[in-house]
Every structure is written in structure tokens, then in C-alpha cells.
């Protein structure tokens, strides 16, 4: 079997496998990898891990990070959806903006009898950065098109999904580890466009209700004691001679490494222990728990650089929120933030900290667009600019960018002030360890470093 180099993999038609690479591949940091190799792999980004969280549907950023100084204009635009001023929580680094109670306090914001399990302690400690008024030129109000734009970091709305590549996918193809298909991982079983590019190496892994990898294993008949070993031995019997096709050779390599990778994922999950209790009946928390299991594993160390996870329900045209009883708000947005997002993120961060990993993990939260400033009957319609949040031990907490202007609008929508690609450039340079020139290569342009990562 011929040897396929990284350059051959990228240039020789790796898209045939990269597009569906949901199989695990041998990890260079497993037993037998040299110290020199490990150091080389860690040189870019120093072993940092990026966790991208997509808040699907277009979350209402104005009801997450609320204009406090300009509360009068906010309340006027949202007479029934506006959060009462005395419920808003101070936001580290800003005297003019405040955090909604649900994200800050978690389930306690929904009922004072509940325990507090939100992000307030992390924000107060300067571990949360809020980048305001983020968007792109000529904003598109279609969920699908705007997502594609954010996934690909390409703002031309006329490019089809099939013709796009993901910004992380391009980074993986150029600077990732082509020998490790766990280089980037999509949680949920599918690989998001963000992770895809010809030559990128990615895996899709679902999680069960206990945060264990699901459906990512070499399944054999447990009724026969020797079945697993026999099938593995048979699968590993490939012709060592070079074939007439590089694709056959590459497929054989992938097959062999997939078997080893599946066992590594299983071992990582089995070796996990934690003092942290995650929320129950929360699929987002289950996915984050699985990320924690894989990211904190040291034997084996999987070497994943990027995890991608999404949670949805934020398209709140109706039933968005009601604060008739301020101590027990109702509606989809308070419920999603207070019951799902905040408790899951707090548990995940605490889990990372318990494993000494909070300095190595950056969590990025984004949504495809914001909502209009004025409410409709009992919700908000598709808007434009929005907040992006960054959470982590090396985040330089505070508020970045201009406060949203609620009176200088574009057809009822906020005007964007920060190009979302500058968020990506900041991450590529300051977290993944690339130069400005390399970031420009990934993003097809230069958009500036916002400085929210230490």
C-alpha cells in the first residue's frame, strides 16, 4: 500500500473522502507518537481547543445583552417583551449594558426557589467577552443563506451551499492534522458546513443521554466471544502493496485508522470522571458533556482542535417572553436560556475547570442574525446585527464594539458595526496560533483582530 502524504491528501483529491469523513482516524498523540511529533502538532495553538456553539434560529440579542443606559428606547420598542430594568444583571466591563437574568442566573431566574446555575460568576470573573453589533454588509434575513454566510465566512449571498467551504474546514485543510480525523468534530452525528473543505479532516459523533459517544464504534456480535477480535483481524488484512489507485490506498489507510480511532473515542469516554453534575433532560448539556469527555481525556489524548455543537429554537416570532410575573417569566427565550443554555454552559465550564482545562478551551457562541428592535404582537421578527459571546479562561472579559443604537436603524434593524470575520480572525490568530497572513489565507481577506483573547 502506498504512503499518502499530507500534501498528497490535500492536493490529490481528498474531497472524495473528506466530504464524508465521519470515521475516526489514528491519532498522532496515541502510544507510539514521538515527542518531537507531539510538540510539532502542538506548536500552532499550543494545544488549544475551540468549541463553537451555534444558537440556531436567530437569537434576540437585545433581550440577552440589554441596553441599560438607553433603557427607555428599549422599553418603548418592546412594551410587553422588554425585561424589567430591576431584573437586569451587571455586566463586567460595561456601565451601559446589562445581562438578562436567565443567562446570568440560569434556572433561578425562572423560579427563585431554584439554585443559581448561570454564567454570572464567570462573567464577574472576567471570563466572558461580549462582541456587540456583529454582522456583515448587505445582511440577508433568510435563515439558510445567513447561516451559509457565517459558516463559510463568504458574504456573497448568491453562492450555493454546495459551492461553499467552511472557514474551519479551510483552516483544517491548510493547518490541521491530516492524519487525525478527530482533528475537528461535529457533535450530533453530522458534519456542519463550517467544518468542511476539500482536504479537511472531520468526524461526526452523536451523544446519548449520558454524554457518551453514540453510534461511533466498530459493532460486532457480543453473543460470540471471539467475534470482535476476528472481525478486527480480518478488517486489518489489507494488501500492503501499492494499488493502481491512490484512492484505494487512501481508503485502506482510512479503514485501518478508523478501527483504532473508534476504540480511542470509546476509551476516552470510559476513562472520564468528574465531580460536576450536568443538567438532565437537556440534549445540549449531553453534547457538551461528551465534548468534555473527549477534550479532557489524557489516555488517550485525542488531539481534537475544534468541536462544533448547535442548539435551536431561537426563531421567536411568537411566544418569545412574558414578564407579567417577573420572578417567573414565561416564553421560549427565557426557557431556552434559563433551562437549557446557561445551566449547560456553566456545568461544562466547571467540568473543564475541574480537569484543569479552562485555560485551553475557548467557547464561541453565535447566531445567524439578530431580531428587529420593535416587537411584533408577542415576538420579534428576523433582524440583522447581533452579539457574539466568547467564554473561557483566557478570554479578556468585557464588552467590545459600540453599543447598539436603537434609534439609528436600517428599516427597523440594527446597523452592524463589527464584521463577523474579525471575530474569526481573532480566533485564528490568537487562539489557533496562526499569523495574520495565514488568517487572511483562510478568510480570503483581512478584517482585524479584536483583542478579546489573552
pLDDT in tens, 68-116: 999 999 999 999 999 999 999 999 999 999 999 999 999 999 999 999 9
pLDDT at res. 417: 98
Is the pLDDT score of 18 beyond 70? Answer: no
pLDDT at res. 328: 98
31 confidence band (pLDDT: 50, 70, 90): very low
d(C-alpha 83, C-alpha 446), whole Å: 38
Query: Burial code of 320-334, b = ≥16 C-beta within 10 A, e = fewer?
Result: bbebeeeeebebbbb
pLDDT in tens, 379-405: 999 999 999 999 999 999 999 999 999
Strands (E), 283-360: 306-311
Find the mean pLDDT for residues 170-178.
94
Q: Are strands 202-207 and 213-214 parallel, antiparallel or unpaired?
A: antiparallel
Find the mean pLDDT for residues 366-373.
98
Give the start-to-end residue ranges of the domains of the chain.
6-443
Is the pLDDT score of 141 beyond 80? Answer: yes
pLDDT in tens, 191-206: 899 999 988 888 889 9
Helix (H) or strand (E) holding 183: none
Lowest mean pLDDT among 41-45, 117-121, 322-326, 433-437: 41-45
d(C-alpha 419, C-alpha 425), whole Å: 10
Find the mean pLDDT for residues 237-264.
62
Taking the complete model, does pTM exceed 0.85, yes or no? yes
Rounded to whole angstroms, the maximal C-alpha distance in the chain is 75
Find the mean pLDDT for residues 166-183.
93
Q: Are strands 128-135 and 398-400 parallel, antiparallel or unpaired?
A: parallel
Amino acid at each position: 500500500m502506498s504512503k499518502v502524504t499530507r500534501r498528497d491528501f490535500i492536493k490529490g483529491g481528498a474531497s472524495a473522502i473528506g466530504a464524508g469523513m465521519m470515521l475516526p482516524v489514528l491519532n498522532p498523540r496515541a502510544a507510539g507518537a514521538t515527542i518531537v511529533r507531539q510538540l510539532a502538532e502542538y506548536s500552532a495553538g499550543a494545544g488549544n481547543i475551540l468549541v463553537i456553539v451555534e444558537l440556531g434560529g436567530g437569537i434576540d440579542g437585545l433581550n440577552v445583552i440589554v441596553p441599560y443606559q438607553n433603557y427607555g428606547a428599549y422599553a418603548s420598542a418592546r412594551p410587553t417583551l422588554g425585561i424589567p430594568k430591576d431584573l437586569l444583571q451587571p455586566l463586567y466591563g460595561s456601565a451601559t449594558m446589562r445581562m438578562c437574568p436567565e443567562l446570568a442566573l440560569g434556572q433561578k431566574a425562572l423560579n427563585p426557589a431554584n439554585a443559581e446555575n448561570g454564567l454570572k460568576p464567570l462573567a464577574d470573573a472576567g471570563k466572558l467577552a461580549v462582541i456587540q453589533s456583529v454582522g456583515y454588509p448587505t445582511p440577508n434575513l433568510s435563515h439558510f443563506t445567513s447561516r451559509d454566510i457565517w459558516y463559510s465566512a463568504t458574504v456573497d449571498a448568491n453562492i450555493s451551499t454546495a459551492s461553499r467551504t467552511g472557514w474551519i474546514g479551510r483552516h483544517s485543510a491548510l493547518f490541521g492534522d491530516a492524519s487525525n480525523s478527530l482533528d475537528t468534530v461535529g457533535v450530533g452525528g453530522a458534519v456542519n458546513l463550517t467544518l468542511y473543505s476539500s482536504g479537511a479532516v472531520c468526524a461526526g459523533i452523536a451523544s446519548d443521554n449520558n454524554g457518551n459517544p453514540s453510534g461511533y464504534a466498530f459493532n460486532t456480535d457480543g453473543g460470540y466471544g471471539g467475534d470482535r477480535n476476528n472481525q478486527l483481524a480480518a478488517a486489518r488484512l489489507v494488501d500492503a502493496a501499492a494499488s493502481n489507485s491512490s484512492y484505494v490506498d487512501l481508503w485502506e489507510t482510512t479503514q485501518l485508522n478508523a478501527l483504532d480511532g473508534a476504540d480511542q473515542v470509546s476509551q476516552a469516554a470510559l476513562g472520564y470522571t468528574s465531580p460536576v453534575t450536568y443538567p438532565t433532560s437537556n440534549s445540549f448539556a449531553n453534547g457538551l458533556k461528551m465534548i468534555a469527555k473527549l477534550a479532557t481525556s489524557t489516555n488517550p489524548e485525542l488531539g481534537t482542535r475544534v468541536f462544533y455543537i448547535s442548539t435551536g429554537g431561537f426563531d421567536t416570532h411568537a411566544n418569545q417572553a412574558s414578564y407579567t410575573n417577573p420572578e417567573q417569566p414565561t416564553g421560549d427565550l427565557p426557557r431556552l436560556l434559563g433551562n437549557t443554555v446557561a445551566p449547560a454552559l456553566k456545568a461544562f465550564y466547571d467540568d473543564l475547570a475541574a480537569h484543569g482545562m479552562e485555560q485551553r478551551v475557548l467557547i464561541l457562541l453565535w447566531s445567524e442574525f439578530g431580531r428587529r428592535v420593535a416587537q411584533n404582537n408577542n415576538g420579534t421578527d428576523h433582524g440583522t446585527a447581533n452579539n457574539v459571546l466568547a467564554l473561557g479562561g483566557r478570554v479578556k472579559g468585557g464588552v467590545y464594539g459600540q453599543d447598539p443604537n436603537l434609534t439609528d436603524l436600517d428599516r427597523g434593524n440594527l446597523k452592524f458595526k463589527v464584521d463577523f470575520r474579525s471575530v474569526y480572525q481573532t480566533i485564528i490568530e490568537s487562539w489557533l496560533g496562526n499569523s495574520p497572513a495565514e488568517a487572511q489565507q483562510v478568510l480570503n481577506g483581512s478584517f482585524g483582530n479584536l483583542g478579546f483573547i489573552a
